[in-house]
Structure 1
Amino acid sequence: MTTHHDLPAIADPDRLFPADPATRAVARELFALVENAPILSPHGHVDPRLLADDVPFTDAATLLVTPDHYVTRLLHANGVAMDRLRLSADTSPRDVWRAFCAGWPAFAGTASGYWIACELHHVLGVGQPSEKHADALFDEIAEVLADPDHRPRSLFRRFGIDVLATTDDPLDPLDTHARLAAAEDGAGGPGAPLGGRVIPTFRPDRYLAAGTPDWSAAVDELIAVAGEGHTGYAGYLTALANRRAHFVAHGAVSADHGVATPETLDLEPARARELFDRLRVAEVAERDPADVAAFEQHMLVEMARMSVDDGLVMTLHPGIHRNHHPATFAAYGPDTGHDIPVRTDFTRALRPLLSRFGTEPGFHLVLFTTDETTFSRELAPLAGFYPSVYLGAPWWFLDSPYAIRRFREAVTETAGFTRSSGFVDDTRAFLSIPVRHDAARRVEAAVLARLVTEHRITQSQAAGIIVDLVDAAPRRVFKLPRRPGA
């Protein structure tokens, strides 16, 4: 369709490739090897009910604007009140979309602008935002979304997704995942099979964060459900292990930890039990911050121990100061655009955990960061020694074309290409999955093409590396088996 504007820049088949003609030609050839490879998404936040129930998308605002804190934060920074970006009795989806289109020029050169431009053109086949044509584009997108070919299950198949991991609470019964798995096995479900797997991810933050107000209540519920009659710290560890086993039985391959810092501490069991008992009975304001920190750091070591036992890959996502603006948090809650990266120390922080498990066979620890100063100083050297450590793809604020390139250039000379996880999209925005993976593949092709034209590797080597990065690396790091017949 592409109405309202001339063909956008992101329609160019050479987007994100090097400007130098010789290097660009090599990048084209390398990208062609992986352009249509299946998508492996071993870490993300898509709601599995979207696919299980084939919930249709309704409008452009609720699809592309209101749930995306990347979008709302920049609009807010440019003077758009938060109330204009949230649905209410006074603010309709069309109102939100108008505010977004009026602010679209602010997204020039940003990763968010690139993702949305690609989604509109390559996924929905419509034009680009503008204040003048906001209503017309809103209606055009609504018409496209009404087409059965643009319902979630149809798009899942069109995107070529082989594995999609969600992020789930440990007490989730995973019945939605069971329905999806049954549908793939021919036991029923809406529409045709997806042709790919949707798997859960164990995310225990709520049960480990002893400094939060609801921690004690969450722990009580966890022990009551899965503690096998044990009480106290023993019941707590038993319950965590049992819920991990439940996730493994439903296809989970990893346990994800969204921690403030990667600090770890290996306590004696008696000391850990003492801290647990004291923290559990205290009101949140009465909990000693030093006790809270020690317990949370110890529990990361316990999670590593359990990963050694049950095989779940352990992923760490540290380094975010969440809810930085108190007034916005009080008025609108979390995930509203004011989570800000902070400096993160890995080398010293992870030594207790790695001293115990860093060379343990079968243990995989994938490290993500929003502090790119650590790429070459700490992360690449850690992954260049410990067989358990892998470099997570650039994440949150760094999941952008230039930052992905900086990551690859920073870590490769120390850790090579074999110590990275492959691309992880980490997205809630379902429509952005294919364009994010496309961008990552283009950037990898560009980096490898430069190595070829600088005569550091051969083009044959580069071809093997890019295929490995897109397919074999995420399978290897996240222990993803190939589907029968794939």
Structure 2
Amino acid sequence: MKELKGTAGDLYAEIRDLPIVSPHGHTEPAWFAEDAPFPDPATLLIVPDHYVFRMLYSQGVRLEELGVGVPEAARDPRAIFQRFAQHWDLFLGTPSRWWMEYVLTQTIGCDMPLGPETADAIYDQITEWLQRDETRPRALYDRFGIEVLATTDSALDDLRHHRTIRESQWEGRVIPTFRPDGLLDATRPEWQAELDRLGEITGEDTKDFKGFLDAIRKRRRAFRDMGATATDHAVEVLQTLWLDNLEALYAKLRAGQGSAEEAASFTGHMLTEMAQMSVEDGMVMQLHAGSRRNTNADVMARFGRDKGADIPVRSDFVRGLEPLLNRVGNTPNLTLILFTLDETTYARELAPMAGHWPCLRIGPPWWFHDSAAGIARYFDQVVETAGYWNLAGFNDDTRAFLSIPARHDLWRRATALHLAGQIEKGLFGRGDARMLAEELAVGLARKSYKLG
């Protein structure tokens, strides 16, 4: 990426090497518990990265050729890496290209450009690099300057990897995030079995609605005991409700007799219940809205969930959150961080809402909008109404561990460019810009996620 100069370059230089606060992401806690070497370049960089394989799939590359849905023992990692390199030009103009170039050059130290002719040599270089002690997960965590790293974990997770990390002598801070979506969606085929499992884990009778709520409270407490400060929730259509007589609705759904509309009402009510529990225990609540999941039925049938076919849809945050906010939105102990894939809501809904409700913070650009241009659009649309202090800073939201420094570096570059533009417009001076740069890089994330 082009070198920043002038005021933007000065601001970037001050925040470039600040610690990384990563309060929301999808890396595996087992990496840090076991601290084993990453297996090979393809498994590390390509197979788990839906940004990579969705682009290649759009140009006719079969997912099996990229190792997706193929057992690890049956993969040919060199062939997967070569296939990726053959299509490297497909990523021109995308943030994936910049992230990957940063990983190859800055993190791994490759000095040759990626392409079909260099794929084998680069593969061999990465393979050798992965065999060093200093490239194991814990050493890379330290090298990257990570202050805290949050994973995202099922509400039914036994948290054994987090327990191993905590009981080790390593000083890295890797914490879980409570993700109860599977327990709140009665339309999932696994719902009944997962409620039974919840009861087994907690010793509560989850056939009863009160027992179900008590079981969730116990799981939240178990996550807090492992250092968790936040919960995470994702919905396609944002709807919150507060319903009376939930015992009857829960019993009906538990018996497999409820309609799709009743299941949606249950989820909407439970989001409000989750907010109330956050008021009780102080956990930050994250809400990601506006992604229609698994839209490619054939890919879903053959490969399962989360294989690159999730697509943004329109969202209505004002009406969707009104019942929740009018119940607990004025409560001092609630922090609710909102993420959207519908950029039209930035200026129309999210900024005015965060500029009023004490509990609300606007999450950084998410998923398709986590890019240089997307970050610039975000600042342009939210700051004038919400200011800076109603933003949640940055989180990388990544499964690709090696991309964490690249993503934070892109955010810090975009932050420096934005603040330099504000200075040029005469909106504030360099002193305020320097203070805001540090807050946007690390301070706001620490505050928003209670990670001080």
**Which residue does 1:64 correspond to in 2?**
45
- 1:266 alignment partner AA: W
Write out per-residue CA displacement over residues 61-118 of structure 1, whole angstroms, 9 at most, x where no aligned residue.
1111111111001011112112211245775111111110011000011011111011
Return the offset for 1:344: 1.1
TM-score after normalising by structure 1:
0.90
Write out per-residue CA displacement over residues 143-197 of structure 1, whole angstroms, 9 at most, x where no aligned residue.
11112111111110000001100111122222211221222xx4xxxxxx3x431
**Which residue does 1:101 correspond to in 2?**
85
Write out per-residue CA displacement over residues 5-24 of structure 1, whole angstroms, 9 at most, x where no aligned residue.
xxxxx4x5x1xx4xxxxxx4
Q: 1: CA distance between counterparts of 2:179 and 2:75?
A: 34
> Which of 115, 122, 126 lines up with 2:99 in the alignment?
115
Return the offset for 1:225: 2.3
Q: Secondary structure at the match of 1:40?
A: strand
- 1:441 alignment partner AA: R
Q: Secondary structure at the match of 2:289?
A: coil
Spell out the pairing of 1:212-361 with structure 2 (5 A cutoff).
212-229=188-205, 231-268=207-244, 270=245, 272-282=246-256, 287-361=258-332
Task: Say whether residues 1:415 and 2:386 are aligned partners.
Answer: yes
Residues 143 and 267 of structure 1, relative CA distance in 2, 3 Å threshold? same
Contact 1:264/1:351 (8 A) holds in 2: yes
- 1:410 alignment partner AA: Q
The sequence identity of aligned pairs, in percent, is 44
**Which residue does 1:136 correspond to in 2?**
121
Task: Say whether residues 1:40 and 2:21 are aligned partners.
Answer: yes
Contact 2:207/2:251 (8 A) holds in 1: no
Q: 2: CA distance between counterparts of 1:37 and 1:387?
A: 28
Contact 1:40/1:471 (8 A) holds in 2: yes
Residues 59 and 90 of structure 1, relative CA distance in 2, 3 Å threshold? closer
**Which residue does 1:196 correspond to in 2?**
172
Contact 1:211/1:287 (8 A) holds in 2: no
Contact 2:204/2:212 (8 A) holds in 1: no
Return the offset for 1:464: 0.7
Contact 2:204/2:214 (8 A) holds in 1: yes
**Which residue does 1:397 correspond to in 2?**
368
**Which residue does 1:30 correspond to in 2?**
11
Return the offset for 1:56: 0.8
Residues 230 and 122 of structure 1, relative CA distance in 2, 3 Å threshold? closer
Q: 1: CA distance between counterparts of 2:255 and 2:27?
A: 35
Contact 1:262/1:316 (8 A) holds in 2: no
Task: Say whether residues 1:364 and 2:310 are aligned partners.
Answer: no
Write out per-residue CA displacement over residues 392-434 of structure 1, whole angstroms, 9 at most, x where no aligned residue.
0111111111101110111000001110111010001000001
**Which residue does 2:150 correspond to in 1?**
165
Contact 1:227/1:235 (8 A) holds in 2: no
Return the offset for 1:290: 1.0
Structure 1, unmatched stretches of 5+, are: 1-9, 18-23, 187-192, 482-486
Return the offset for 1:388: 0.1
Residues 58 and 90 of structure 1, relative CA distance in 2, 3 Å threshold? closer
- 1:332 alignment partner AA: F
Q: Secondary structure at the match of 1:96?
A: helix
Q: 1: CA distance between counterparts of 2:370 and 2:349?
A: 19
Q: 2: CA distance between counterparts of 1:248 and 1:129?
A: 43
Structure 2, unmatched stretches of 5+, are: none
Q: 2: CA distance between counterparts of 1:392 and 1:461?
A: 22
Return the offset for 1:474: 1.0
Return the offset for 1:128: 2.9
Contact 1:227/1:236 (8 A) holds in 2: no
**Which residue does 2:346 correspond to in 1?**
375
Return the offset for 1:47: 0.5
Residues 409 and 230 of structure 1, relative CA distance in 2, 3 Å threshold? closer
Q: Secondary structure at the match of 2:200?
A: helix
Give me the CA root mean square deviation: 1.4
